[in-house]
Amino acid sequence: MPSSIFTLFETVAIELSSVPARVITERDWERADTNNPFVEELMGHYGTSFDDAIVHAVADLQIHFMDRQNRLPFTYDPRTGEFSSVDPEYISFINQVYEIRSEGVSSASFEKAVLGRIALRVMGSLHRVGHPRELHRTNVTINRYLHGLGFAEKTLRGRQKDGGLDIIWSIPFGAVPYRPLAVVQCKNGSLSWKDADASVATCTRTIFRHRGLMPEAHIQCVVFNDYVLPESLPDETMQYVPLGLSDLATPTFVGCSQSFV
C-alpha cells in the first residue's frame, strides 16, 4: 500500500470537514496535487487510469480501517465522484490534527485530541499526565496523583516533567497498586522509530517506579500524528504498540466485543 494513499485520505477528510458531501473532480485533484503528486503515484502504483486509481485507493483504505475494526469515515461513489461523510466527528479530528502536525507548541493539543478518541473504545479511567500540567503544577501534587495510580511516593523528581506518561489508561482489572496501566505516548509529527524509542525508554524508567507491578505487566503505546503501514514496521518484534491516526477512528463494534469458543 503506497503512503500516498493517506495524502488522498486527508485531502478528502479536509474537504468534508466543512460539507457533508463533495464531488471531487479530476481538476480538483490536480489542484490538490500541485505540491505533492500523490495522484500520479497512485496511478503508477495501481497501473490504472485516474478514475480506477481512486477506486482502488478507497478500497485499500477500507481494508486498512477494517483491519483495525474501525470504519472509513466517508463513502465514495465512483459513478459521480462524490465523497460523503459518515463520521463527521472523526473527520473533524483528522482536520484538527492535520493543522497542528509538527508544531511543538501544539503537542498538548495533540494529546487532548488523542485522549478524546481513546475514550471511545475503553472502559476504566483515562488520565492526561502530559506536561505542561494543568492541575498538578508541582512535583508534590503530581506524585500524589501518580501514587493513586499505583506509583511510588516520589516517582517524579526534579525536571522530569511528566516522566514519559502522556496519557494513562487504568485498565479495569485488579485493585491499585495491582491494576495494570496502558501508557500512551503522543508524538505530534511523522512516524519516527528513533523518537518513539527515546520516549519509550523514558516511560520505562518511570514505570519501574510502580510499586505493585513489574514493567512487563503494563502496556506501552506510541501514537503518531501519522499513519502506520505494514511496510514501515521494523522486522523484529516490538516492545510497544505503534499506533497511527487510523487506529483512532470510530470502532465498528459497539460496547465490548465478545467471542466465545
Q: What is the pLDDT of residues 226-236, one digit of tens each?
A: 999 988 898 88
What's the domain range around 33? 4-92
Tell me the average pLDDT of the chain: 87
Residues 229 and 105 in one domain: yes
Question: CA angle, 201 as apex, 196 and 204 as ends, to 5°?
Answer: 120
Which residues are within 8 A (CB) of 119 and not within 5 positions of it... i.e. 6 or more apart? Answer: 126
243 pLDDT above the threshold of 90 = yes
**What one-letter code names the amino acid at 167?**
I
132 pLDDT above the threshold of 50 = no
The predicted structure's pLDDT at residue 8 = 92
Residue (of 218, 136, 129, 230) closest to 182 by Cα position: 218
pTM assigned to the model:
0.89
Question: CA angle, 134 as apex, 128 and 136 as ends, to 5°?
Answer: 85
Reading across the β-sheet that carries 241-243, which strands appear in turn? 125-128, 167-170, 181-187, 219-224, 241-243
**What one-letter code names the amino acid at 18?**
S
Higher-confidence residue of 119 and 106: namely: 119
Instruction: State pLDDT tens for residues 156-212.
Output: 876 666 788 899 999 999 999 999 999 999 999 999 999 999 989 989 999 999 999
Residues 114 and 238 in one domain: yes
254 in a domain, yes or no? no
The predicted structure's pLDDT at residue 258 = 46
Residues 75 and 153 in one domain: no
How many Å separate Cα 147 from the centre of its chain? 27
d(C-alpha 180, C-alpha 214), whole Å: 10
Residues 57 and 106 in one domain: no
Domain C-terminal end among 92, 115, 135: 92
Structural domain tally of the chain?
A: 2
Sign of the torsion angle spanned by Cα atoms 207, 211, 217, 218: negative
The predicted structure's pLDDT at residue 12 = 94
